[in-house]
A and B are shown apart, each in its own frame.
Chain A
Amino acid sequence: MVSAMRAEVMQAGQAGAIAGRRAGSGASRLYLFTLPATLLFVVFVAYPILWVAGQSFYTRSGSGETSFAGFANYAVVLGEPTFWIVVRNMALWGLITIPVQMLIGGLLAYFIERHTIVFRGFFRTMFFLPVVTSVSVISLVWVQIYAPYYGIAQEYLKHVGIVMATSPIGDPKTAIYALIVVNIWQWTGFSMLMYIAGIANLPGEVLDAARVDGARGWRLAVHVIVPMLAPATKSLLLLGVIGTLQTFPIVHLMTGGGPNRASEVFGTFIFKQSFVLGDTGSGAALSVIVLIIALALSLLQIVALGARLTPAGKERQ
């Protein structure tokens, strides 16, 4: 027990013994390695965030004067009904897209990795193509698909007895769902790829041992493979939450947040407040709120679930 402890402490000490440490000028020059990244961050990320945070405490009156407003902007934003529509939309977005993408992606990954050989590369590539297609192209194509008279969605839904009066993205009740469908279509390939990597890296011996224990096929999948893919799942969850909160171009291009704010998301809301209405104060307050939510949810997942951005790396003692 003592020798194990010693080994640990020694390991920690040995970790620093790379590239030499000499008192004086040598060591500080090594920080140059971190300089470019830090510089980019400070100028293009930190400064804008701080600027926005600062802006959130000021209001601009009609005549263009700015005055300190304390938390007034926050109060206004939180009081707006649109804010709560947005929260609802984001919750729906996250709760639907993340599990569905995981499920479909996971199933695809499982069957492609374990049951195909010749076509494996083909399937892996084809399902990933929507991910590499630009959002501007996707939005226009889907607008066409959803079009009530000449889009093909109508054509196929006819067979199931659904007739669309307007495009799904033009109907306040269905707009957000129509957008969610597009998002799932585009990003499932990413979940699939993460799971493919996870499955490909499963230690063969563990799977063999499970088979010797009598687990095959479905049971093997459910009781052994799925639990062992937990790191990939947690990773997808973390990225999924962050991505949901960041959603913007697809909504902006397809519905603009409408009709009547029915499909408003944080991104479009902020955009409208800051750019369109020129109310930088409330737009900034919104931004800070979103940032805090993102940080809180991410921290929660990292601490409570041990989620990591990429489920990489060997188990470190």
Chain B
Amino acid sequence: MATLSIDKITKAFGSLTVIPELSLTIPDGEFCVLVGPSGCGKSTLLRIIAGLEPINSGRILVDGVDMSGAEPPERGVAMVFQSYALYPHMDVRRNIGFGLEIARTPAAERAGRVRRAAEKLRLSGYLSRKPRELSGGQRQRVAIGRAMTRKPKLFLLDEPLSNLDAALRVGMRIEIARLKAELASTMIYVTHDQVEAMTLADRIVVMNGGRIEQVGTPLDLYHRPANLFVAGFIGSPAMNFLKGRVAAVREMRATVALAFGPQLDIALSQRVEPGEDVTLGIRPEHISFSADAQSDAYVARAALVELLGSDTFVHVREGDESLVIRDSRGRMARAGDSIAISFPASACHLFDKPGRRISQGAPSGFEIDPAAAPA
């Protein structure tokens, strides 16, 4: 367990700056997920935290102690690598206990810790096997075991699930969640998969181009994305974005005219001027549609309908914009049908031209009722 403070660090490889100044504090015991698209710097940041990469400026503090130049073991770091990096010539027992072996832990104690880790990870029968005799999931558990036995202050995981097939991934996600409950470490987890982030994290750090876009709990990010990037990154399928213009402003409410058609009334958190270009964001699961046209609902034609059994996805196109609607209540439609779409104002997000959120967003815990007509 340890508090990690990253204080104004920068990182460049030669002349290429990958992380222009970044600061972040991860409190003791938190499960923090670094998420973002490829090349955003999340893996680099993890390696910097681990001590595998030096920083160009700034400080790394573990429990208040400056560890900027320190080696991984000094920082109390253990790491699960993306490729697991198991020592191929050592059996599982030795792989798991290797860190302790190097630290000159007495053999009896080492054997005990290895045994307990193996039990927790259901590897007890595999201790004498070599990595090449194990399946992908088993190898991953060995990698976790190796990190676990060192009782680290900081437990780092670098895209641990990306090498597994889909079915295995779900199972391992649950295992990691279980681990999170058992271990006392501060855990830092890197992934490009926002579903993993949403399900595992206490807090998520969304990164893009070496910068932090937003830090918050999963639901924070879901209900109150700070900008277009976070809004489009979190949530699957992604949020719909529609172009619009501010028609009128009254106190802290704006009437927005969408190129798509309807006009909506949105509560603001920042001032805007009439005539400004804005972007409206609404999640597919918050739009509702019905076959019978209600008087003030907006009518459109379903271009494509995907039936998944549990969900129905309806794709609508208007000009050069398109919309995806997700319905989980069993409503049906066919391609070519005319449907009435309604956008609940409380579920709409508004972003200004540079991409920052200017609407109030939903308070957390707010139940969005898609049946509510637009105001």
Out of B44, B52, B71, name the residue touching A10 (CB < 8 Å).
B44
B13 contacts across to A, CB distance below 8 A: 9-10, 12-13
- Contact indicator B53/A23 (Cβ below 8 Å): no
Is B236 close to A, CB under 8 A?
no
- Residues of B within 8 Å of A3, CB to CB, are 38-39
Task: Judge if B16 is at the interface, Cβ distance under 8 Å.
Answer: yes
Which residue of B39, B69, B71 is within 8 Å of A6 (Cβ)? B39
Q: Is A209 an interface residue (CB 8 A)?
A: no
Question: With A and B bound together, what is the CA distance between A22 and B53 in angstroms?
Answer: 12
A3-B39, A7-B39 are contacts. A17–B47 as well, Cβ < 8 Å? yes
Residue interface bits B343-361, CB-to-A below 8 A is 1, else 0: 0000000000000000000
- Residue A20, interface by CB 8 Å: yes
Interchain nearest-CB distance for A317 vs B (Å): 16
Please give the number of chain A residues whose Cβ is less than 8 angstroms from any Cβ of chain B in the complex.
14
Nearest-neighbour CB distance to chain B for A14, whole angstroms, equals 7
Q: Is the Cβ of B16 less than 8 Å from the Cβ of A6?
A: yes
> What are the residues of chain B within 8 A of A14 when measuring CB–CB?
47, 52-53
Instruction: Give the most central of B18, B52, B54: most A CB within 10 Å.
Output: B54
| B14 close to chain A: CB less than 8 A | yes
**What residues of chain A lie closer than 8 Å to B54, measured between beta carbons?**
17, 21
Q: Inside 8 A of B16's CB, which chain A residues have their CB?
A: 5-6, 9-10
Which partner residue on chain A sits nearest B210 by CB separation?
A6
A22 CA / B67 CA spacing, docked (Å)? 12
Instruction: Specify which chain A residues have a CB less than 8 angstroms from the CB of B47 in the assembled complex.
Output: 14, 17
Beta-carbon nearest neighbor of B38 in chain A: A3
Separation of A13 and B39 alpha carbons in the complex (Å) = 15
- List residues of chain A with CB within 8 A of the CB of B14: 9, 12-13
Complex Cα gap A14–B54 (Å): 10
* Smallest CB separation, A92 vs chain B (Å): 49
Number of interface residues of B (CB under 8 A): 13
Q: Which residue on chain B has the smallest CB distance to residue A26?
A: B71
- The residue in chain A whose Cβ has the minimal distance to the Cβ of B11 is A13
CB-contacts of A12-30 with B (<8 A):
12-14, 17, 20-23
**A6/B18 in contact, CB under 8 A:** yes
- Nearest CB on B from A21, distance (A): 7
Distance in angstroms between the alpha carbons of A13 and B12 in the assembled complex: 9
Interface readout for A112-125 with B: 1 if CB under 8 Å, 0 if not? 00000000000000
Nearest Cβ on chain B to A26's Cβ, whole angstroms: 10
Bound CA–CA A14/B14 (angstroms): 11
CA A38 to CA B16, docked complex, whole Å = 35
A22 and B44 alpha carbons, distance in the complex (Å)? 19
Q: Is the CB of A22 within 8 A of B18?
A: no
Using A3-B39, A6-B16 as known contacts, say yes or no to A13 and B69 having CB atoms under 8 A apart.
no
Interchain CB contact under 8 A, A23 and B18: no
Shortest CB-to-CB span from A116 to chain B, Å, is 29
- What chain B residues lie within 8 Å of A13 (beta carbons)? 13-14, 53
* Residues of the B chain whose Cβ atoms lie less than 8 Å from the Cβ of A5: 16
Cα distance, A7 to B71, chains bound together (Å): 24
CA distance A60 to B53 in the complex (A): 60
Most B CB atoms within 10 A — which of A3, A10, A12, A23? A10
Is the pair B38, A10 in contact by a Cβ cutoff of 8 Å? no
| Bound: A23/B47 CA distance, A | 19
A23 / chain B contacts, CB cutoff of 8 Å: 69
A6-B16, A9-B14 known; A22 vs B69 contact (CB < 8 Å): yes
Tell me, in angstroms, the Cα distance from A13 to B54 when the chains sit together.
10
| A268: min CB distance to chain B, Å | 48
Q: Which residue of B lies closest to A19 (CB)?
A: B71
Residues of B within 8 A of A7 (CB): 39
Give, as a whole number of angstroms, the nearest-CB distance from A210 to chain B.
Answer: 30
Q: How far is the CB of A24 from chain B (nearest CB, A)?
A: 10
Whether B18 pairs with A10 at a CB distance below 8 angstroms is: yes
A4 to B: closest C-beta gap in Å: 9
On chain B, the residues within 8 Å of A17 by CB distance are 47, 52-54
B44 to chain A, nearest CB (A): 7
Q: How far is the CA of A174 from the CA of B54 in the complex (A)?
A: 67
Can you name the residue of chain B whose Cβ is closest to the Cβ of A17? B52
Rounded to whole angstroms, the CA-CA distance of A101 and B69 in the bound complex is 56
User: In the bound complex, what is the Cα–Cα distance between A6 and B71 (angstroms)?
Assistant: 25
Residues on the A chain within 8 Å of B52, using CB: 14, 17
Interface residues, chain A, with chain B CB atoms under 8 Å away:
3, 5-7, 9-10, 12-14, 17, 20-23
Pairs across A and B, CB under 8 Å, 7 listed: A6-B18, A9-B13, A10-B13, A10-B18, A10-B44, A13-B13, A22-B71
Give the 5 A-B CB pairs with smallest separation, nearest first: A13-B13, A3-B39, A9-B13, A9-B16, A17-B52
- Mark B residues whose CB is within 8 Å of A: 13-14, 16, 18, 38-39, 44, 47, 52-54, 69, 71
Q: A9-B16, A17-B52 are in contact. List 6 more A-B contacts (CB 8 A).
A: A3-B39, A6-B16, A13-B13, A13-B14, A13-B53, A14-B52
